Amino acid sequence: MKVVSSWNPKGGQGKSLFTINLAAAATQLGLKALVICQDQQGTAMLYHKAGNLPFDVINEIPKERPDVDIVFIDHQASDWEVPKSKFILMPLKPARDQYATYIDAYKRAEASGKTILTVVTDGSAHRADEKATTEALQKKGAYVVPSSGVFSRAAGQYRTIFDEQLNKAYKIGQRRAEMQQILARILMKEGE
């Protein structure tokens, strides 16, 4: 069983968005996924309550090992404790103030020996500092997921982008492929 923590102490970076969509991508591959929502806002739990997810969402770490292939833990904002899982997904928006928090958290995770995958989202090619940050992180192996209305559309219906209700959404194929590529990289990495 692989455990993936979606973690960045800065709020609004896309932790919940990536958690639920990567869990949905895993189910597309035939894997049994579980999401643990530790976010006080309960974003993943809201999706679960709407009844549109092909996987379970719970709000605490189970006492017994769950019968699943992959667990995604959606950490809350302002949580500076480095997750216990070996693998950490760190989403971020490349604005300077967002990036500063990410760097501090990244260094803590790196010092703890974690395997880290960075995903940059919502960067603006028209802002020189955001473009430079995005390009620098991409050179270091980060994934870049462009801003897309399909995420807002899915969120408005408490669905993942893999829900068949969104099959005709603009650029849905590209967004799904990006999530599948990120998941493939997670699955290929060694460790929990």
Sheet of 143-145: strands edge to edge?
56-58, 33-37, 70-74, 2-6, 87-92, 115-121, 143-145
The rounded distance, in Å, linking the Cα atoms of 54 and 121 is 24
Dump pLDDT digits (tens) for 44-76. 999 999 999 999 999 999 999 999 999 999 999
* Residue 192, pLDDT above cutoff 50: no
Is 0.75 topped by the overall pTM?
yes
Give dist(CA 172, CA 166) in Å, integer: 7
**What ranges make up the beta strands (E) of 38-105?**
56-58, 70-74, 87-92
Question: What domains sit in the chain, N to C, each tagged with a CATH number?
Answer: 2-188 (3.40.50.300)
